[in-house]
Amino acid sequence: MSHMSAQKKILVTGGAGFIGSHVVRLFVQKYPAYHIYNLDKLTYAGNLENLKDVESASNYTFLKGDITDHGYIDGIFKAHGFDAVIHLAAESHVDRSIENPMEFVTTNVLGTAVLLNAVREHWKGQTEGKLFYHVSTDEVYGSLSDDGFFTETTPYDPRSPYSASKASSDHLVRAYNHTFHIPALVSNCSNNYGSHQFPEKLIPLMINNIVHNKPLPIYGKGENVRDWLWVNDHARAIDVIFHKGKSGDTYNIGGFNEWKNIDIVTLLCKVMDQKLGRPEGTSAELVTFVKDRAGHDFRYAIDANKLKTELGWEPSITFEKGLEATVDWYLSNQEWVASITSGAYQQYYQQQYEGR
């Protein structure tokens, strides 16, 4: 099935966040015939600065709103008649889900249900060319030991409030596809890194702490493994799946790129010593092992071969190159970092790391 048409009105949710802003930028710039509506509540994680370069494009509109507000969602569907939804809005940080699970249930589960009900209502009997694209995570599959990979048929086994809320939302999307014949698909992606990521997540947090000579808090022994993908490559994958994916299908997206946390932080220290003109080994002295995350999943690794063989996507850049580009972006955008690490971030940081 092709979802391509000359003109489309696409609702992107969570477009002011990390991955969403890369998706919005790609679609606004690559598809002038599409109109991109970016719906975002602008939580602590959403920032319109992320989209400065596209905000005045004629095929872009920002809508400030909450996906859990069904009256508001109904109103924007009535007003704009969207042809497709790319749903990224979510609470996304595992540590915050351990502190405050209910916010994750509300936004990720209820919010997704509200959007699904809106498309059910507004696309009734007219689903030709329509698509609900749900952006999800590999964490729904649980945790791996030293070997094996998550495939599209790996049974769900979420183990944190965050991943359980994402798993619930995935199930709802598939249930609406099956029961109400809403054209829908899900992609499950591994850890992203790149520009504009909020510095609560491992890589930007470490970059920021290295810049400021602050301790580098490594959970447990630092032996947990993640599969890292450059955010621009995730956005490219979403583009390919949006246009060529099959309704009802699932696509795993990954970097073919596994790293232990301690090895990433060691590499970052080395790269940043060079960039900051510090003697080699200086930043590595900041490494501090702290109390482990509760229920910390040991290893995630995605088998992304379906996406590669069926739709021809693969990562465009090596991790070393992507990481260097990311460090360069953070070093030349210290104002962006300073503006979001003031105020509420300080409070979060103290709560999360002090006395750990």
Q: Which of 11, 12, 19, 206 binds ligand NAD (CB under 6 A)?
A: 19
Question: Is residue 229 close enough to count as binding ligand DAU by CB under 6 A?
Answer: no
Nearer to ligand NAD, 172 or 283 (CB): 172
Look up residue 226 and give its DSSP letter: E
Residue 184 contacts residue 123 (beta carbons within 8 Å):
no
Tokens of 293: 């995350």
Q: Show the DSSP H helices in the chain as ranges.
A: 18-30, 70-80, 94-99, 101-104, 111-122, 161-180, 202-211, 231-244, 261-276, 305-311, 319-332, 334-340, 344-353
For ligand DAU, which residue of 47, 137, 143, 283 counts as binding (CB under 6 A)?
Answer: 137
Q: Does 90 bind ligand NAD (CB under 6 A)?
A: yes
CB of 6 to ligand NAD, least distance (A): 28
**Closer to ligand DAU at the Cβ: 113 or 203?**
203
* Token pair 């995605």 in the structure block, residue: 302
184-189 and 216-219 as β-strands: parallel, antiparallel, unpaired?
A: unpaired
Q: Which does 300 bind (CB under 5 to 8 A by kind): ligand NAD, ligand DAU, none?
A: ligand DAU
Q: Which residue is nearest to ligand NAD (CB)?
A: 17
Active site residues: 138-139, 162
Query: Out of ligand DAU, ligand NAD, none, which partner does residue 59 contact, by CB within 5 to 8 A per kind?
Result: none
Number of residue whose CB is nearest ligand DAU: 137
Residue 205 interaction partner, one of ligand DAU, ligand NAD, none, beta carbon < 5-8 Å per kind: ligand DAU
State the number of binding residues for ligand DAU (CB under 6 A): 19
Of residues 251 and 283, the one with the C-beta less far from ligand NAD: 251
Residue reference for tokens 């260097």: 324
183 binds, among ligand NAD, ligand DAU, none (CB under 5 to 8 A by kind): none
Interaction of residue 238 with ligand DAU, rule CB under 6 A = no
Nearest to 341 by CA among 154, 137, 200, 165: 200
- Residue from 42, 48, 98, 262 touching ligand NAD (CB under 6 A): that is 42
Per CB under 6 A, 204 contacts ligand NAD: no
First to last CA, the chain: 51
- Which parts of 288-307 interact with ligand DAU (CB under 6 A)? 293, 300
Closest CB to ligand DAU among residues 288, 318: 288
- Pick between residue 38 and residue 177 the one whose CB is nearest to ligand NAD: 38
| Angstrom distance (rounded) from CA 17 to CA 201 | 13
| DSSP codes of every residue in 10-62 | EEEETTTSHHHHHHHHHHHHH-TTEEEEEEE---TT--GGGGTTTTT-TTEEE
Whether the Cβ atoms of residue 286 and residue 215 lie closer than 8 Å to each other: yes
| Closest to ligand NAD by CB, 161 or 283 | 161
Greatest alpha-carbon pair distance for the chain in Å reads 66
Task: Report the site for ligand NAD in 110-149 (rule: CB under 6 A).
Answer: 111, 135-137
What is the distance between the alpha carbons of residues 310 and 253, in angstroms, rounded to a whole number?
A: 12
Which position has the token pair 């009256």? 71
Q: Does 164 bind ligand DAU (CB under 6 A)?
A: no
Count CB-CB contacts under 10 A for residue 101. Answer: 16
Instruction: Enumerate binding residues for ligand DAU (CB under 6 A).
Output: 92-94, 137-139, 190-191, 201-202, 205, 217-219, 224, 226, 261, 293, 300
